[in-house]
Amino acid sequence: EDQVTQSPEALRLQEGESSSLNCSYTVSGLRGLFWYRQDPGKGPEFLFTLYSAGEEKEKERLKATLTKKESFLHITAPKPEDSATYLCAVQAGGEDKIIFGKGTRLHILP
């Protein structure tokens, strides 16, 4: 069964304290792995798509990487405005649907 697991469930960091969020997946042939940011009461905002192992994408303080079994979202020198829930999702080969993980709630303390 296709599955996506995110860890940790929640993470509190001091401003400027870099860390990584993990997304482990098991799918039959990866079509794409997606990272989203979700603020309270809002819809998820698309961040990155990764298609193959070894691929990396960057945007401001965020960097997403992909291996054959997991993806990491690295946050460098975070600011309080980076506080949000980060969602990972995967699309398996031959599927029209994507499967979401339960997310990591990130809180950056000033």
Partner 1 sequence: DGGITQSPKYLFRKEGQNVTLSCEQNLNHDAMYWYRQDPGQGLRLIYYSQIVNDFQKGDIAEGYSVSREKKESFPLTVTSAQKNPTAFYLCASAGRDRGQPQHFGDGTRLSIL
Nearest to 106 by CA among 14, 43, 3: 14
User: Residues 72, 20: contact at Cβ < 8 Å?
Assistant: yes
45 scored as a contact of partner 1 (CB under 8 A): yes
Alpha-helix runs per DSSP H in 20-105: none
Instruction: Pick the binder of partner 1 from 66, 73, 86, 101 (CB under 8 A).
Output: 101
Applying CB under 8 A, the span of 14-22, 59-67, 73-81, 90-98 interacting with partner 1 comes to 90-98
Applying CB under 8 A, the span of 17-25, 62-70, 74-82, 97-105 interacting with partner 1 comes to 97-105
Least distance (Å) between residue 20 CB and partner 1: 20
57 CB contacts (<8 Å, ≥6 apart)? 48, 49, 50, 63, 64
78 scored as a contact of partner 1 (CB under 8 A): no
Instruction: Pick the binder of partner 1 from 1, 54, 97, 110 (CB under 8 A).
Output: 97
Q: Which stretch of DSSP H or E encloses residue 21?
A: strand 19-26
Least distance (Å) between residue 46 CB and partner 1: 5
